[in-house]
Homo-oligomer: A and B are copies of this chain.
């Protein structure tokens, strides 16, 4: 497997959520995953669906959460930011038991491909 070091930069203080400042990765093989969307009523259902799909995409390459080197998360409603924070607070410790959460960039955009989608997550992994 790739040599992946997820970590924080002391000079930047403590991250304000379930993410790290940087991933340093020595790898010859990468996995680029299309932005994932999931149906579902409400933010939590969609969020669980999106990460379940990313898990499937990783699995298809024999990889897992520990292979992720970058997330970019797009939400449609700023009111969902606390729900996203809560979801990660609840679920990420199980997905990333060593507490090394990948870097994330969180953006609020106008809309996704269909109006009912509330979030999309783009993922890069190293194999």
Which A residues have a C-beta under 8 Å from some C-beta of B?
7, 9-12, 15-16, 19-35, 53, 56-57, 59-61, 69-70, 72, 74, 78, 81, 102-113, 115, 120, 122, 124, 127
Contact = CB atoms under 8 A, between A and B. Distances in A.
Contact of A26 (B9, B29, B59, B102): B29
B127 A24 contact: yes
A26 B112 CA distance: 30
Contact of A103 (B24, B34, B120): B34
Given A57-B12, A61-B22, A107-B120, A81 B113 contact: yes
Given A12-B56, A31-B23, A107 B105 contact: no
8 closest A-B pairs by beta carbon, nearest first, are: A35-B105, A34-B103, A108-B111, A11-B56, A32-B70, A9-B60, A108-B110, A23-B32
A107 B112 contact: yes
